[in-house]
Amino acid sequence: MIKLNSREHPWRQGLTVQNLIDEEEFVFKHIVVRVNGVPIDEEDYAATVISDGDDVLVLHLMAGG
């Protein structure tokens, strides 16, 4: 089990940040991802493996006025 945005979420072996984004349909153009408080660069999403027990935060950035 992992935490995704402060909620329990199923974990599986080999789960990457990119898999999680795709499966959860985070489709916003600009997002910020942190795993255990560490920011993950977009170019590293596919290579960053999420471990059982990790705390993952995925936020979309919005602009407005």
CATH code, domain carrying 54: 3.10.20.30
- The pLDDT tens digits for 4-52 are 999 999 999 999 999 999 999 998 888 999 999 999 999 999 999 999 9
**Does 42 map to a domain?**
yes
Domain that includes residue 38, residue range: 2-60
> What is the rounded end-to-end Cα distance, in angstroms, of the chain?
38
**Does residue 13 belong to any structural domain of this protein?**
yes
Whole-model pTM: value is 0.90
Evaluate if residue 64 carries a pLDDT over 70.
Answer: no
| Whether pLDDT at 63 is above 90 | no
Q: Is residue 41 part of a domain?
A: yes
The answer as to whether 20 is a domain residue is yes
pLDDT for res 8 = 98
65 domain residue, yes or no: no
**∠ at Cα 25 (61, 35), nearest 5°?**
60
Counted domains in the chain: 1
